Structure 1
Amino acid sequence: MRLNSLLLAASLGLASLAAHAQAPAAAAAAPAVSPEYRLGAGDVIRIVVYQNPDLTLETRVSETGVISFPLLGNIRIGGLGVSAAEKLIADGLKNGNFVKAPQVTLALLQVKGNQASVLGQVNRPGRYPIETADMRLTDLLAYAGGVASSGGDQLVLTGMRNGKPMRMEIDLPSVFGPNGDQGRINDVLIQNGDVLWVDRAPLVYIYGEVQRPGPMRLERGMTLMQVLASGGGLNQRGTERGIRLHRKGGDGKVQVLQPAMDDGVKDGDVVYVKESLF
């Protein structure tokens, strides 16, 4: 009997240890709860009270965040989440003895109160609704149809955070880079009134004795040799010894450089290829 008791105690102790070991893993596996959309001025909503069709209301949230609901009068729901607004109305109906156990459902018909703008080199610039509280920069960019062919990798996001103006420069490729943590940081949450600006792609200009003179998109880390290759290379009259690069300095003056083929080029550089004398 004593041996059996010892074995039972040991098994219970092992089970307890196993349960404690599994608890953190179960907590880590629990999905994160997304923030809820907060109602704003201009939002069009429909409110339904179960088994009370006379209390159904379709209305627009006023500029002050107020709606007028039957039996309750003016209710301020601006800034509340959908579930919080449902509870506010349900509590008002119950506490006023209008409905014993009200079941209130609030549905968003049009999102007007929370919007963000996308401007610049995108396929569909404009204002877009923020339909979820966890909307990120990449979601907003997708609404605008993505970056246009003339757009660059550098984005600028402006808005208000904690009552203060915010301006953030974002390198778009870093959002999708191998460093997942940094990408998550750069894929910022969008808030009401934010403006996303997509700048044009950097350009370099080439003229003179080349096959295809004119402006061309400047890729990252592009060298002079790659610029010439993008222009189709030198024609029969061109010479590498006659290549000059014109670059505007910080003082606004243009410098004339004689670069090597593996030298990098910058946005706005002008490459000139002279004609060979022989």
Structure 2
Amino acid sequence: MKSIKLCALFIGFLSLVFVKTLLAEEEYTLGSGDIVRITVYEHEDLNLAARINEKGNITFPLIGEVTIGENTVAFAERIISKALEKGGFVHEPQVSIVIEQYRSRQVSVLGEVRMPGKYTIEGASSIIDLIALAGGVSDKASEFAHLITTKQGKPLQIRVDLHKILFDGDVSQIVDVDTGDIIFIPKMDRFYIYGEVQRPGVFRLERNMIVMQALAVGGGVTPRGTERGLIIKRINSDGEVLEIDASANDLLIPNDVIYIKESLF
């Protein structure tokens, strides 16, 4: 049920993401390959469209070659404005820059999404935008996503709590993506239950799930079973299988195996 809600909320949540994306557009960093349209108010002869070259430069009337790459749109506007005024060409120029075409930027979305693959992003895009482009998460998806990116030339992995974003509206969990990033959605955490239970098998491990809730998911014990003497088989950090005497309120962790004994009476 939680996985179905998680999938559905990706559609309903897009309105909230859209607002954040609009704000993030202002922080987009210009780069090589971007095509920009530059307008100088009341100076139509200076208006032009230009592609930023590999050095981050464009050639602008009167001021020549100017570097605007690796800057936000607002900062690039100020660069051109100051150059025009410093050169004595325009008094208090009002410069406006609009991005007409973004350079080709791709992000890979892998794992438990409906349409894994590479997606081209335009402008500022978040991890939620890319998961939505990939069709949303599958029914077997975890509640967490992993963003593999780089920071200052070093690889960095960020764990994103999709549950907090979609169920709690926690936009602080939303992170932006950039060229070459990888988004990976792992399979859901699971637990196993067998023995004298109505529906033995493998089930999704919900957040903060306890043994009592797991028994309910498994349909409860059979008439021959007993909730006394429950055993959890758990793999420790050394790969050893431990047998733990469990109670109904014990918290489960991923890959726990619950065994329901047969009643002796």
Asked whether 1:105 is paired with 2:91, we answer no
Give me the whole-angstrom Cα distance separating, in 1, the residues matched to 2:177 and 2:208: 34
- Taking the aligned partners of 1:226 and 1:89, their CA distance within structure 2 comes to 63
Q: CA deviation at 1:218?
A: 0.5
1:152 and 2:139 matched: no
CA distance in 1, matches of 2:63, 2:76: 13
1:82-102 Cα distance to aligned partner (Å, 9 max, x none): 233334445556667877886
1:131 and 2:105 are equivalent in the alignment = no
Work out whether residues 37 and 47 of structure 2, in 8 Å CA contact, stay in contact via their aligned partners in 1. Answer: no
Aligned to 1:47: 38
The one-letter code of the counterpart of 1:83 is A
| Total equivalences in the alignment | 239
Measure the CA separation in 1 of the matches of 2:233 and 2:30: 54
Structure 1 pair 103–263 and aligned structure 2 pair: CA distance change class (3 A):
closer
1:62 match: 53
1:53 Cα deviation from its structure 2 partner = 6.3
1:154-173 → structure 2 map (5 Å cutoff): 154-161=144-151, 165-173=155-163
Match of 1:77 in 2: 68
Q: 2: CA distance between counterparts of 1:269 and 1:189?
A: 32
Query: What's 1:253 paired with?
Result: 240
Once the two structures are TM-superposed, the CA of residue 222 in structure 1 deviates from its matched residue by: 1.5
For structure 2, which runs of at least 5 residues remain unmatched after alignment?
1-22
1:219-250 deviation line (CA, Å, top 9, x unaligned): 12212221121122234554445754321122
Aligned-partner SS, 1:152: coil
Distance 1:206 1:189, change over 3 A: closer
CA gap of 1:63–1:234, structure 2 versus 1, over 3 A, is farther
Match of 2:250 in 1: 263
In the alignment, the residues of structure 2 paired with residue 140 and residue 99 of structure 1 have an alpha-carbon distance, to the nearest angstrom, of 43
Which has more radius of gyration?
A: 1
Instruction: Give matches, 1:207-222, under 5 Å.
Output: 207-222=194-209
Q: Is contact 1:224–1:262 with CA below 8 Å preserved after alignment? A: yes
Name the counterpart of 1:11. none
Q: Show CA shifts across 1:29-85 (max 9, x none).
A: xxxx986332123323233455636853253x3333233446655432111222333
Question: What residue identity is the alignment partner of 2:70?
Answer: G
Is 1:229 aligned with 2:221?
A: no
Quick check: 253-262 or 117-126, which moved more?
117-126
Partner in structure 1 of residue 191 of structure 2: 204
Match 1:190 to one of 154, 170, 176: 176
Q: Which amino acid aligns with 2:144?
A: Q
User: Is the CA contact 1:116–1:130 (under 8 Å) kept in the aligned structure 2?
Assistant: no
- CA–CA distance in structure 1, aligned partners of residues 90 and 251 of structure 2: 74
Deviation digits for residues 78-132 of structure 1, max 9, x if unmatched?
A: 1122233334445556667877886543211233377765544445655464735
| CA distance in structure 1 between the aligned counterparts of 2:74 and 2:161, rounded to whole angstroms | 36
Pair 108,53 (structure 1): closer, same or farther in 2 beyond 3 Å: same
Structure 1 unmatched ranges of 5 or more: 1-32
Higher deviation after alignment, 240-249 or 220-229? 240-249
Amino acid at match of 1:190: D
Q: CA RMSD in A?
A: 4.3
Counterparts of 2:194 and 2:112, CA distance in 1: 26
TM-score, L = length of structure 2? 0.65
Structure 2 vs 1, CA of residues 148 and 40 (structure 1 numbering), >3 Å: closer, same or farther?
farther
Matches of 1:237 and 1:198 in 2, distance apart? 40
Matched AA of 2:176? I
The answer to whether the 8 A contact 1:242-1:276 is kept is no
Is contact 2:230–2:247 with CA below 8 Å preserved after alignment?
A: no
Q: CA 1:114/1:72 → structure 2, altered by over 3 Å: closer, same or farther? A: farther
